[in-house]
Structure 1
Amino acid sequence: MGYHNELGKWGEEVAASYLRQLGYTILHRDWDYRHRDLDIVAMDNGVLVIIEVKTRKNERFADADEAVTPQKVRSISLAANAYVKRYGISLEVRFDIITVVGEPAGANEVRHVKDAFLPYI
């Protein structure tokens, strides 16, 4: 596995730990639907939360959350729709972004943007 993939996996672990500390219940990680994935699916006070995690070593060139493009929002929306249908969920759904900036051996910064985007299909 390349460094980029290892960094992303580490960032998702940091994000999941952060969410657990806030009292979220993690339902799934890396849930896959037709070459699309949901990084983290969690529950927060009766709301289904779909979390896109973006990890960067640093933000020298751009903020990590800027990597959530309209194409990525569409992909997440399609996968979230499939998830809701597969599990028969009839709850409110929220889409968040968590950015993790840093490296496993050093300090890191976690930013959580709730209601970061509206889904579209």
Structure 2
Amino acid sequence: MTTHIDLGRRGEDAAAAYLGALGWKIIDRNWRCPEGELDIVAHDGRGHVACEVKTRTSVRFGDPLEAITPAKARRLRLLAWRWAAVHGVGATGMRVDVLGLLTEGGGFSIRHHREVC
């Protein structure tokens, strides 16, 4: 289990570095409430973005982005609204992105999907 947790942490670190390189400001990481957790909350210069990070070592069990089912997308939207309410941010301006990471040569390849829900 430690390997799975370590992979997830490394993936989230890589995703945060990727977003930082885009010029985004990382505001929160691993924010939790009773309904669940947001991996990363950032500001892209225009608005707040809740980012779900899915990291895999291969596509053997499917692409990382396939893990975002309609139910998961609804939960991510709810979590984004909860984060916005707690932080006094207008929920209508908040979007949800997903970053799918695959291990590649000691690093990660990253696919960034905007406004998934």
TM norm structure 2: 0.91
2:80 and 2:55 map into 1 onto residues whose CA distance is: 21
Give the Cα separation in 1 of the matches to 2:108 and 2:38: 22
- Match for residue 62 of structure 2? 62
| 1:71-115, Cα deviation, whole Å (9 max, x unpaired) | 211221221111111111126111111011006x71421111111
**Match for residue 19 of structure 1?**
19
**Partner residue in 1 for 2:10:** 10
Q: How many residues align structurally?
A: 116
CA offsets 1:1-45 (integer angstroms, 9 cap, x no match): 621111111100000000000000000000001150000000012
| Residue of structure 2 equivalent to 1:99 | 100
Residues 1-121 of structure 1 correspond to what in structure 2 (within 5 A)? Answer: 2-90=2-90, 92-102=93-103, 106-117=106-117
Moved more, 25-34 or 56-65: 56-65
For the residue of structure 2 that corresponds to 1:26, the secondary structure is strand
Partner Cα separation in structure 2 for residue 61 and residue 89 of structure 1: 37
Given residue 102 of structure 2, which amino acid in structure 1 is its aligned partner?
A: V
CA RMSD of aligned residues (A): 1.6
> Equivalent pairs: percent with the same residue?
39
Tell me how far 1:60 sits from its aligned partner: 2.2
Unaligned runs of 5+ in 2: none
- Opposite residue 77 of structure 2, the aligned amino acid is S
Structure 1 residue 116: deviation in Å? 1.9
SS of the residue corresponding to residue 106 of structure 2 reads coil
5+ long unaligned stretches in structure 1: none
